[in-house]
Chain A
Amino acid sequence: MMGFKDVFLQHPERRYIMFGGGGGVGKTTFSAAAAYWLASHGKKVLVFSVDPQASLTDIFKRDIFGKGPVKIMDNLWAQEIDADKHIKAYQQEIRQKILDMYGLPAVPEEIENYIQAASAEPAMEESAMFDAVVDMVMKGAYDYYIYDLVPLGHALYYLSMAKVYDEWINKVTKLREEMREYEEMVSRIRREKVTEQDQILQELLYIKNRINTSAGILTDK
């Protein structure tokens, strides 16, 4: 029978390790234990939880909630993302951007309602988590990232959506390039409109990049 050691030895390229399963089976605990073992064998490991119910704070008996990566011992860092704080800060960024872009004194009521409604969606917390994970992955230089699995449905949705989104944004990019050709021919186009288009395109590309990174983490590519 193959064991854990064998799997890690045979697949050194698998750096994103997740423990999945139903509620109460011990995913978070095992993530911690696997992280511990790898760290004590010289690997630089980040273990984190995306499960709002489980608690690495309890498991490690250290307060790590919302504190960024906390060093538990040599080579081992643990992180618990405070999704709420993340979302609230994010909302403020969006509000400020709207005020700046349109020179408004306050955010219009229907826009504010939209912001609140979107944030109340259950998928918001999950997608905020995913984005926070992308941040961690892009910043950090860990040998291993270990975590307990997000709700299966959501993870798989991300994967299928990543592909569709890719195709959609490629179409939009093509459109934008065609526009650019005419921009050179005709000088009537207002500069501001063009810049705004570019900005939007930048945003779409940024989002595409984030989503693809998320998908890459799940498929370990």
Chain B
Amino acid sequence: MTEEEKESAAKRLWHNITDTVYGMAAHDMSRAALRTRASMEHLFILITMGDLLGIPILPPYYSLRLLPYVVPQIATWKRRMLREKDVADAMF
């Protein structure tokens, strides 16, 4: 290999590595982010629909304490529920 070829091969290798590492990081990041969102939703479900899913139900006194943190989710949930209802209505 010529000096030039070696250099571009090195560059390509370097780019491959950084792309992979960065890609991995981004991928893991979004995975973690997804899991965090999942845990937020988990929290939300825990508070509002615990008995439907058979997962630990917090005593009402304590689930009320967590309510402020899921206020935005409640709004989205309602909207989602309504949308599903519309779809169901449209279908039948």
> Are A and B bound to each other?
yes
Does B78 lie at the interface of the complex (its beta carbon under 8 Å from any beta carbon of A)? yes
Count of A-B residue pairs with CB < 8 Å: 97
Roughly how many angstroms separate A130 CA and B63 CA in the complex, as a whole number? 14
Is the pair B36, A203 in contact by a Cβ cutoff of 8 Å?
A: no
Does B92 lie at the interface of the complex (its beta carbon under 8 Å from any beta carbon of A)? no
8 Å CB contact of B69 from A123, A126, A200: A200
Is the pair B71, A111 in contact by a Cβ cutoff of 8 Å?
A: yes
Question: Is chain B's binding surface mostly helix, strand, loop or mixed?
Answer: helix
Is the pair A164, B56 in contact by a Cβ cutoff of 8 Å?
A: yes
8 Å CB contact of B59 from A90, A101, A130, A175: A130
Roughly how many angstroms separate A115 CA and B65 CA in the complex, as a whole number? 10
Roughly how many angstroms separate A105 CA and B1 CA in the complex, as a whole number? 72
Smallest beta-carbon distance A89→chain B, Å: 12
Does B45 lie at the interface of the complex (its beta carbon under 8 Å from any beta carbon of A)? no
8 Å CB contact of B65 from A111, A121, A203: A203
Is the pair B61, A101 in contact by a Cβ cutoff of 8 Å?
A: no
Is the pair A121, B66 in contact by a Cβ cutoff of 8 Å?
A: no
Is the pair B66, A90 in contact by a Cβ cutoff of 8 Å?
A: no
CB contact list, B2-52 vs A, under 8 A: 25, 28-29, 32-33, 35-36, 39-40, 42-43, 48
Is the pair B64, A203 in contact by a Cβ cutoff of 8 Å?
A: no
8 Å CB contact of A186 from B29, B61, B63, B75: B29
Number of chain A interface residues as a range = 35 or more
Question: Is chain A's binding surface mostly helix, strand, loop or mixed?
Answer: helix
Is the pair B29, A182 in contact by a Cβ cutoff of 8 Å?
A: yes
- Measured between beta carbons, the chain B residues less than 8 angstroms from A102 are 71-72
8 Å CB contact of A123 from B25, B42, B59, B65: B59
CB contact list, A93-126 vs B, under 8 A: 94, 97-98, 101-102, 108, 110-111, 114-115, 118-119, 121, 123-124, 126
Roughly how many angstroms separate A31 CA and B34 CA in the complex, as a whole number? 52
Given contact pairs A121-B60, A207-B58, A207-B62, A179 touches B36 in the complex (Cβ within 8 A): yes
**11 chain-A/chain-B pairs, Cβ below 8 angstroms:** A94-B68, A101-B68, A118-B60, A123-B60, A124-B60, A127-B60, A172-B39, A178-B35, A182-B29, A207-B65, A207-B66
